[in-house]
Amino acid sequence: MNPAPILISLSSFGASEVLQHGQLHYTWLAQAAGADGVEVRGELLASAAELPALAATGMVKVFSSPTGLWTDEGRLDLTALEQGLATARQLGAARLKMAIGGFSGADELPTLRRHLAHSAVELVIENDQTSSAGTVGALQRFFAAADAAGLDLGMVFDMGNWHWLGECPQQAAAALGARVRYVHCKGVQRERSRWIAVPIADSAAPWRAVLRSLPRTLPWAIEYPLQGADLQAITRSELGLLQDAREQA
């Protein structure tokens, strides 16, 4: 059996740097460092003109949409969904990652089911840092309603984001682990009155225990700061750290 891939979310290289140099530059860097693929970030795309070159690398596994699946007013955002699916197809990405946004009820889930019925791109739902879309309770309510509507949706488990909402990642893994299709690996530390993302080895949270509580066969992605003079060497080292953690899990 081939080992599950380890990816890099391109936001890890820093928003300003990625906007300056482009996601293609960092995709090549990730490949040279040994990553199995990348997650392209919608908020860091300068224009649609970037998409063909990114697709040509064959490295794009996930497209991350910055827009919630439901609007703040509680309406299914079909425009955001269709744009996300189309961009993922252009990139050759098998998965589209979105948060649920302002989901408030089950009325529009049949519409979502119809829009996904013939899609080759898998929609996966991430726990973000908002109370409406990032708590265990909010996600359990959404997935229960989705199940009842005949939707089979998986989850992106961001192991760091739970801290922003005062929730325990291990308890979240116990409650939602069966849903998880993909893991965002993120270290966290408390700084004054807020949480910040840090390299996973510097995390104040028990990250190894969280990863051990999830299936080993899931793809993982680095989503924490990758910075330094020799960025390729640093990236290679961080990929190695996660690979060692997988082997020891």
pTM over 0.95: yes
What digits encode the pLDDT tens for the residues 162-221?
Answer: 999 999 999 999 999 999 999 999 999 999 889 999 999 999 999 999 999 998 899 999
pLDDT digits (tens, 9 = 90+) for 69-86: 999 999 999 999 999 999
- Contact status, residue 135 vs residue 100, Cβ threshold 8 Å: no
